[in-house]
Amino acid sequence: MRFGIGGFVVIACATLLSLGGEAVVAEQAHSRVRNVAIVVWNGAEILDWAGPTEVFAAAGNIAAQGGSTAFHVYTVSKTKDPIVSQGFVRVLPDYSIKDAPKPDIVVFPGGGGSSVLSDPEFFGWAKAAAANAEVALSVCTGAFILGRAGFLDGKQATTWHGMLDQFEKEFPKVDVRCGSRFVDNGTIVTTAGVSAGIDGSLHVVARLLGRYVADETAQYMEYRWTPEAYLSNSYTLLNPSLDSRGRRVQQAEIFVSEGNPSEAIRICEQLVAEKPDDAPAWRQLGQALHSSKRYEDAVAAFTKAARSNEVRAGAWYDAACSAGLLQNKERALDFLKKSFDAGLEGRERVRYDPDLALLHKDPRLEALIAAGAPAESARQ
């Protein structure tokens, strides 16, 4: 979940531990939630799967307008038994192939691919998952899984540079591309080795959620992402998964990021006039008002947003930030408690939010954080 307007974004994601949680596949009023399966096995290269995990988890939270992330990211292996990635990192998969949610996006890393290719049951699941996914993404030698499944015949593809010759020999019907960071065939995207999985994943994000979300994700990751010009022209700026109202909310967000909150306020005021119960629009209005230093008005907007379950936790947190800058300690604490009660995650980050500086030495803040620690640990 993305929350807070005091200079940080919290990404609820774990690359070395379980990414648990129930699958979310329903259509939302403002955006679609896509399941992203990160397939892991013994010997899988760490960055091959951790890079895409970071991209999709971060992008999902950056794109979120309601209470749900745009991507539900989880790990899958043959069983739920721990696997060892790259020989020394222990990973506990969220799901086995028997109970994993149906993926909209499935990611196959490189390293140790024989764990899949030599196991008929695991390979059968992988083949079916790729066939039925909106996008199947391979990183490094994960392309061999897609090749063996027959998905690359007659298509362009790439893999890790050290295995290009072997790949070409094994799959003579594939047009193997040397020097490409990734190759997009629509439903199949193959990438070169290791870090190239980040580029391929950002490309998929740009395709599905728009260039703005991909750029914000790369900036959050401090990753230098420079897609080719011909690809850049193919991306929409705004998120094509959003409805027209959702795109207007995103336009308002962009205006705030560009230092033009007055235009964002104009858009959001129109949205809430048209539909008074539009919680994401109320929250974005609050953020634009906050950016304009109209903190009391921002609190009023966040309070209206908090009427909806989908944004309640984040809206109360934002209200606490505005109250903090009004130097109203009691209101800030009250809003923060409401946010925690609504299920805010990553609450320990509150200690570093500059908008809540007036609370940082208040023992009541530590008591609030400690009160939610057991529940938060259970979720993780």
The pLDDT score that the predictor gives to residue 372 is 62
The pLDDT score that the predictor gives to residue 379 is 41
Domains annotated on the chain, with CATH: 34-232 (3.40.50.880), 244-379 (1.25.40.10)
The pLDDT score that the predictor gives to residue 6 is 42
The pLDDT score that the predictor gives to residue 67 is 64
State the DSSP string of 89-122: EEE--SEETTTPPPPSEEEE-SS-THHHHT-HHH
CA dihedral over 28, 379, 250, 334, signed as positive or negative: positive
List pLDDT tens digits, range 188-222: 999 999 999 999 999 999 999 999 999 999 999 99
The pLDDT score that the predictor gives to residue 371 is 83
The pLDDT score that the predictor gives to residue 69 is 87
- Phi, psi (degrees; rounded to nearest 5) at 142: -60, -20
Interior CA angle at 286 toward 291 and 205, to 5°? 85
Distance CA 288, CA 217 (A): 21
pTM of the model: 0.84
Distance CA 49, CA 110 (A): 8
The pLDDT score that the predictor gives to residue 74 is 98
Residue 234 per-residue DSSP state? T
The pLDDT score that the predictor gives to residue 2 is 37
The pLDDT score that the predictor gives to residue 66 is 66
The pLDDT score that the predictor gives to residue 251 is 97
For the chain, list residues with pLDDT below 50. Answer: 1-4, 6-30, 373-380
